[in-house]
Amino acid sequence: MHVDFAVVGAGPAGAHIAGALARTGFKVALVEQYGRGRDKPCGGLIDLALWDMLGSARNGLPAWPIRGTAVFSLGTNHITFRSEKTRSYAVFRSELDTLLSDRAEQCGANLLENTKVRGIKYNDSGVRLINGNGTAITSDMVVGADGTYSIVARSANLRPEVGHSELIFCLVSEFPLGQSRLEREIEDINTIEVYMLGGLGYGWVIPKGDYVNIGCGQAYDHLQNSNELWRKFLRTLHRHSRFVYTKIPRPKGYFYRSLKGPVVRTYADRTVLLGDAAGFANNLSGEGIWPAIQSADIALPVLERAFTNGDYSTSALELYEKNWKRRFQSEFIRKQKLLQLITQISIIRKGFLGRLIGVQAWSEGETFDRALQFIKDHKELYYMLNEVYQHRNAAVVVLPKLKKKLPSFALDYFGTSLYRRLRGEQPNY
């Protein structure tokens, strides 16, 4: 079989770009290792922009609006941010993937299910995909949308191997519970819950009507034992009176590349990488569906021009990387800096400042617990943060105000503690 474009991976990025290319008139093969609608471990939150992009096709997609986020510490503290408007939607990942694959087929893409790509060969005339079932596909170009361990990335020498320091390991269990039972278990059925587990670990609870999605993750080079991570998360849930008497099904595990942002280079001769294959997952939340769709939209005009000009060289495809960097690299950098700050909490706590104000004995969990209480006690800070949560554009206006206010908040917090300590009193945090 010969096609203009071979797309490896029928997840959100692959299905989206395959459909867009086929709709334009190109011959496209969409190669998927598994069957349509497989159970893929995932939180299943989608951005409002993606919801709008789906248009009328979303009418058949089960989805539940999310209007709030509650953040829980390792202790007993938590704080909730809410919006009157919907901030995102919770969906079943298998349903979303099926919807996007069906759309790609309807646009004219040739979907090849249960077809594993075993090897990719490059030559002057094109690309040859060697499949596990003995068939082969030749194309002018290959699009890698095949996840964290992308064979396309390895074959094009864009990412020979994935280091442990780049990965997040997650465990997730999605199961039916009944909406009435779920309403008794959590704060609100339109609010997701996020749990800080320490050591670059976190957990979540995402309500989905009669179902609930429960999961946790941790930086892989900080992970000692996956079973202990899951048990630690369950203990934290129980501490906050969540699912104490619920039998939670055994979780499924998966990896995604996020800690260091996108790969060094996302294009090569006759090749581009999209979605998880390129490392386009949110550094903090791990959300990768919307970044995957965005990367496909950015690549589309570059691929069209490459075909029109008959030029699939690195110099012709370099524009793809320039464009995605212009679109969202600054966001990756900001979140990377925030992630680094979070990882340095223990260093700060044990350093000179920690000894000075008497917090060197605090654990990571206790530090975060007290930080949440501080935000709750300072209503002005809470309202500013909640305003950012409610309105995305408000971040442009609110964050500069917050930056100016932080020194006074910090002085109030640490200054009072230091004053009490110097007087020989017990710091009142």
Nearest to 20, CA basis, from 116, 108, 90: 108
> What's the pLDDT tens digit per position in 314-335?
999 999 999 998 887 777 766 6
> Is 44's pLDDT higher than 80?
yes
Q: How confident is residue 428, by pLDDT bands cut at 50, 70 and 90?
A: very low
Greater pLDDT, 421 or 393? 393
> What's the pLDDT tens digit per position in 382-391?
777 777 676 6
Residue 382 has a pLDDT of 76
Mean pLDDT for the stretch of residues 37-62? 88
Do 39 and 172 contact (CB within 8 A), yes or no?
Answer: no
The highest-confidence range among 94-103, 287-296, 337-346, 349-358, by mean pLDDT, is 94-103
Do 75 and 15 contact (CB within 8 A), yes or no?
Answer: no
The alpha carbon of 298 is separated from its chain's Cα centroid by a whole number of angstroms, namely 19
Task: Let me know if 108 is exposed, middle or buried by CB neighbors in 10 A (0-12, 13-18, 19+).
Answer: middle
| Mean predicted lDDT score pLDDT of the chain | 83
Q: Compute the Cα dihedral for 131, 265, 48, 286 and give only its sign.
A: positive
Do 112 and 30 contact (CB within 8 A), yes or no?
Answer: yes
Please, which residues have CB within 8 angstroms of residue 231's CB and are 6 or more apart in sequence? Answer: none
Residues 230 and 202: their CA atoms lie apart, in Å, by 10
End-to-end CA distance of the chain: 69
Mean pLDDT for the stretch of residues 239-253? 94
Greater pLDDT, 414 or 9? 9
For residue 322, give the H/E element and its range. Answer: helix 314-343
Neighbours of 171 (CB within 10 A): 21
Do 40 and 174 contact (CB within 8 A), yes or no?
Answer: no
Residues 49 and 10: their CA atoms lie apart, in Å, by 20
Q: What b/e sequence results for 131-151 when a residue is b if at least 16 CB atoms lie within 10 Å of its CB, and e otherwise? A: beeeeebbbbbbbbbbbbebb
> Is 355's pLDDT higher than 60?
no
- Tokens standing for residue 128: 């040859």
For the chain, the residue count is 429
Residue 40 has a pLDDT of 87
Adjacent-strand bridge partners of 201: 218
Nearest to 61, CA basis, from 74, 73, 52: 52
> Is 297's pLDDT higher than 90?
yes
Mean pLDDT for the stretch of residues 108-124? 94
Q: How much of the chain is in helix, strand and coil states, percent to nearest 5?
A: 45, 25, 30
User: Quick check: helix, strand or coil at residue 339?
Assistant: helix
Please, which residues have CB within 8 angstroms of residue 56's CB and are 6 or more apart in sequence? Answer: none
Query: Which conformational region is residue 25 in: left (phi greater than 0), alpha (psi within -120 to 50 degrees), or beta?
Result: left
**Mind listing the domains of the chain with CATH numbers?**
2-44+93-159+263-328 (3.50.50.60), 164-257 (3.30.9.10), 344-422 (no CATH)
> Is 360's pLDDT higher than 50?
no
> Is 183's pLDDT higher than 80?
yes
Do 157 and 32 contact (CB within 8 A), yes or no?
Answer: no
The alpha carbon of 399 is separated from its chain's Cα centroid by a whole number of angstroms, namely 23
> What's the pLDDT tens digit per position in 212-224?
999 999 988 888 8
> Is 415's pLDDT higher than 70?
no
Strands 201-208 and 78-82: unpaired
Residue 31 has a pLDDT of 96
Longest dimension (CA), the chain: 81
Phi and psi at residue 85, to the nearest 5°: -95, 155
The highest-confidence range among 34-48, 149-163, 250-264, 292-306, by mean pLDDT, is 292-306
Place of tokens 């997609």: 61
Strands 2-8 and 28-31: parallel
Distances (CA, A) of 287 to 70, 217, 232, 276: 17, 12, 22, 10
pTM (two decimals): 0.83
Lowest mean pLDDT among 128-142, 211-225, 232-246, 401-415: 401-415
Residue 354 has a pLDDT of 47
> Is 115's pLDDT higher than 70?
yes
DSSP state at residue 266: -
Q: Give counts: helices (H), strands (E), the chain.
A: 15, 18
